[in-house]
């Protein structure tokens, strides 16, 4: 018997395990792949290694060093005497019991599901995986690529995991989707020297970002050489016809799409499908724990990330463990990408910490409504709080305050003059509601504003705070 059972050792799961163990709980954590999850193995860390490498070859080399080093660090954290790390795929037997394929079973009052997400694929039928394959076939699942067995998708149509496994820089990369993952890879592969085309269904990239900021970032990336087709829907993909290939001059994939009623196509050596991520619940046998998925595939949870009783089938409530707030038998929680609330590594971590605090009866003041996010393009973009577009839609009264990097001494000294800050406040320069920034080190600047918003500070209090000169952070107090 263990106090807490956690399924998945990504940032949500392993941080929760460490926090619980530190507070004296006996924890069992089950992981079917590498510890560190998507973030460490095929997400945040590898992509940021690419962002901070000069060439594709350097990036490959550094990723091969950085990822195992960090993985070792996580294994070190999980070697705490209160933590048992079990290798295997977990599956529910009932609401208190989980088993692994080698026949082990584990029982706990409190169980945290932290199984993360996988890439969403395009709904346009079969995709080609090999330029020589002739007929199209389905892209291998990301589960396979996250597994320690090292199965890899190396075809010309890949998801983000497959792209990180390419041995050579593609000459022409076509990216379907201008969300965070698509934009980050567009920026970095363009810098490495690939010819990058991005096709996006929506009118503007990065829908969570202020549309003004998103447009400026896209224009900047266009100047750097990335080609964008916005408001364009991909219709089909097909391998380049055999006669052409046999001529020895062209191979790859043709991406057919429609923009403003016109049929267009792009040729690419590699196609990255970056159309979002979906919760990972396959094989968990959630029915045994009486958990019903929401129509979008997420595990529905309440504001404390407890699997909401309202989502359980009627009459089954007594089968289920419930709640630090109710039944003494404990509860089922779902944190991180699998609940679909905020698909970010730091959101998963903080949700895990909050759940453990609930189990321990510790009050915390984590503000899940103040969730900063960054896009590590060149230059960066980052945001916290609602965009100006969202404030307008909600009918929330606000004031918008702007400043530009070109007027900041440090930005000029760094030759990083492209950038803009947008702060929205309550009317009368009241409490700060949000910050949307594009420009060098935008993530760091947004982090500062996140602290002000969390503490309910006003724009005047931000202005009254002494900022080191010369720093980029002065751009915040330079807003109009
Ligand atoms: P995961 O990290 O996905 O971990 C889940 C773990 O559960 C995995 O290790 C999996 O093997 C395991 N698992 C699943 N099912 C089972 C089972 N049945 N039994 C046992 N184990 C199981 N976020 C950021 O905040 N910043 C970034 O810069 C950033 N960049 C990203 C770049 C890319 C290319 C991608 C794909 C994602 C990026 N993200 C980023 C998102 C971030 O990786 C995720 O939000 C984060 O990893 C979610 O953490 P998690 O713990 O919920 O799940």
398 has a pLDDT exceeding 90: yes
Q: What is the pTM assigned to this prediction? A: 0.91
Of residues 327 and 184, more confidently modeled: 184
- DSSP for residue 128: -
Q: What confidence tier does 203 reach under pLDDT thresholds 50, 70, 90?
A: very high
Q: Please compute the mean of the pLDDT values over residues 405-416 and round it to a whole number.
A: 97
168 has a pLDDT exceeding 60: yes
What tokens were used for 126?
């079969």
Q: Please compute the mean of the pLDDT values over residues 170-188 and round it to a whole number.
A: 97
Quick: pLDDT tens for 266-325.
999 999 999 999 999 999 999 999 899 999 999 999 999 999 665 555 544 434 444 444
Q: Please compute the mean of the pLDDT values over residues 47-52 and round it to a whole number.
A: 96
Give the model's pLDDT for residue 218: 97
Give the model's pLDDT for residue 470: 98
Q: How far is ligand 1, taken at its centre, from the CA of residue 353, in Å?
A: 16
Of residues 201 and 249, more confidently modeled: 201
DSSP string, 275-336: S-EEE--TTS-GGGGT----TTS---B-TTSBBPGGGSPTT-GGGS---TTS-TT--EEE-G
Give the model's pLDDT for residue 156: 84
Identify the weakest region by mean pLDDT among 133-142, 208-217, 259-268. Answer: 133-142
Phi, psi of 458 (to 5 degrees): -95, 170
**Is the sign of the CA dihedral 154, 160, 165, 167 positive or negative?**
positive
Helix axes 11-22, 56-77, angle to 10 degrees: 30
CA distances from 47 to 44, 53, 446 (A): 5, 10, 20
Q: How far is ligand 1, taken at its centre, from the CA of residue 119, in Å?
A: 11
SS3 148: coil
264 forms beta bridges with 257
DSSP string, 172-241: EEEEE--SHHHHHHHHHHHHHT-EEEEE-SSSSS-TTS-HHHHHHHHHHHHHTT-EEE-SEEEEEEEEPP
Give the model's pLDDT for residue 309: 60
Ligand 1 mutation target, pool 38, 74, 274, most atoms within 8 A of CB: 38
Give the model's pLDDT for residue 123: 72
Residue 174 C-beta-side C-alpha neighbours within 13 Å: 21
Give the model's pLDDT for residue 59: 97
Give the model's pLDDT for residue 240: 80
Q: Please compute the mean of the pLDDT values over residues 426-441 and round it to a whole number.
A: 96
Cβ–ligand 1 distance for 98 under 6 Å, the answer: no
Cβ–ligand 1 distance for 177 under 6 Å, the answer: no
Helix (H) or strand (E) holding 411: helix 409-414
Give the model's pLDDT for residue 126: 57
436 is catalytic: no
Cβ–ligand 1 distance for 299 under 6 Å, the answer: no
């Amino acid at each position: 018997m263990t106090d807490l059972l956690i399924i998945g050792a990504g940032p949500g799961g392993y941080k929760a395990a460490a926090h619980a163990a530190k507070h004296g709980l006996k924890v069992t954590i089950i992981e079917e792949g590498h510890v560190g999850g998507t973030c460490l193995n095929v997400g945040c860390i590898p992509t940021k290694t690419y962002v901070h490498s000069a060439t594709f070859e350097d990036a490959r080399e550094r990723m091969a060093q950085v990822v195992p080093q960090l993985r070792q660090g996580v294994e070190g954290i999980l070697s705490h005497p209160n933590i048992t790390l079990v290798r295997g795929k977990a599956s529910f037997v009932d609401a208190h019991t989980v088993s692994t394929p080698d026949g082990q079973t584990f029982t706990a009052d409190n169980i945290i599901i932290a199984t993360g997400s996988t890439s969403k694929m395009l709904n346009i039928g079969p995709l080609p995986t090999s330029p020589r394959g002739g007929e199209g076939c389905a892209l291998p699942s990301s589960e396979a690529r996250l597994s320690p067995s090292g199965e890899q998708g190396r075809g010309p149509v890949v998801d983000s995991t497959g792209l990180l496994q390419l041995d050579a820089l593609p000459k022409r990369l076509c990216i379907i989707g201008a969300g965070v993952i698509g934009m980050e890879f567009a920026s970095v592969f363009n810098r490495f020297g690939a010819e990058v085309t991005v096709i996006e269904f929506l009118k503007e990239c990065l829908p969570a970002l202020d549309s003004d900021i998103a447009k400026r970032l896209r224009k900047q990336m266009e100047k750097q050489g990335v080609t964008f087709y916005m408001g364009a829907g991909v219709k089909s993909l097909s391998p380049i016809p055999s006669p052409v290939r046999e001529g020895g001059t062209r191979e790859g994939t043709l991406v057919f799409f429609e923009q403003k009623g016109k049929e267009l196509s792009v040729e690419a050596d590699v196609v990255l499908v970056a159309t979002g991520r979906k919760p990972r619940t396959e094989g968990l046998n959630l029915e045994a724990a009486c958990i019903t998925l929401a129509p979008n595939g997420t595990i529905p949870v309440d504001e404390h990330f407890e699997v909401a009783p309202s989502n359980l089938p009627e009459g089954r409530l007594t089968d289920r463990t419930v709640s630090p707030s109710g039944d003494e038998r404990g509860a089922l929680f779902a944190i991180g990408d699998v609940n679909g609330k905020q698909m970010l590594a730091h959101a998963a971590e903080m949700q895990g910490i909050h759940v453990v605090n609930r189990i321990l009866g510790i009050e915390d003041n984590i503000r899940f409504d103040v969730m900063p996010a960054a896009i590590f393009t060149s230059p960066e973009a980052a945001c916290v709080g609602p965009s100006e577009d969202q404030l307008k839609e909600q009918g929330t009264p606000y004031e918008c305050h702007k400043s530009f990097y070109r007027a900041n001494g440090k930005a000029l000294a760094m030759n990083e003059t492209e950038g803009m800050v947008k702060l929205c406040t309550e009317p009368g320069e009241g409490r700060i509601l949000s910050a949307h920034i594009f420009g060098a080190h935008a993530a760091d600047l947004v982090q500062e504003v996140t602290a002000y918003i969390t503490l309910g500070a006003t724009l005047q209090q931000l202005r009254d705070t002494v900022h080191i000169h010369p720093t980029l952070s002065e751009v915040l107090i330079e807003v109009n």
